[in-house]
Amino acid sequence: MPDFDLTPPTADQRVALAAALSPEERRVLLSHGTEAPFCGVFLDNKREGAYVCRFCGLPLFRSSTKFDSGTGWPSFFAPFATEHVKNIRDTSHGMVRIEIVCARCESHLGHVFPDGPRPTGLRYCLNSVSLGFVGEGEPLPDPLARGETAF
């Protein structure tokens, strides 16, 4: 597996990347929102490849770890690399949950729960709007111009 630079985007890069987002993408990625269930474009995606951060392009999950959780959001049992996803304690909405964000740009992705399938027992529940998809054999997006084009 190639190494990926996890250095955060510069302030100027953040401004440029944020300007390219739709209002819904800004609400979810930058303001920790949630998209409605059963409406995300990646919920039923069956293609082979990798799911990347919509904001910075970092690979987050492989299609081989995706499963149908029945929750209405794309679900995965393991990240692309553990260092690509950061866990944050979330006490909003009167409960304790674990929020997941991109380890490079800290964009909101969703939450992780301890009710997933084997081998991890985890369910990473993602907002489709937080993700991009790269099909097997296609180059990765490189919005930060770091030369990271293969997974």
Write down the pTM of the prediction.
Answer: 0.94
Q: What is the CATH number of the domain that holds 97?
A: 2.170.150.20
144 part of a folded domain: no
145 part of a folded domain: no
pLDDT digits (tens, 9 = 90+) for 122-150: 999 999 999 999 999 999 999 999 999 88
Binding-site residue numbers for Zn(2+) are 53, 56, 102, 105
- Residues with catalytic roles: 125
147 part of a folded domain: no
114 part of a folded domain: yes
Which residues of the chain fall short of a pLDDT of 70? Answer: 1-2
Q: Which domain holds residue 63?
A: 11-135
Q: What is the DSSP string of the chain?
A: ------PPPPHHHHHHHHHTS-HHHIIIIIT---PPTT--TTTT---SEEEEETTT--EEEEGGGEE--SSSS-EESS-SSGGGEEEEEE-GGGS-EEEEEETTT--EEEEEES---TTT--EEEE-GGGEEEEETTSPPP-TT-S-----
86 part of a folded domain: yes
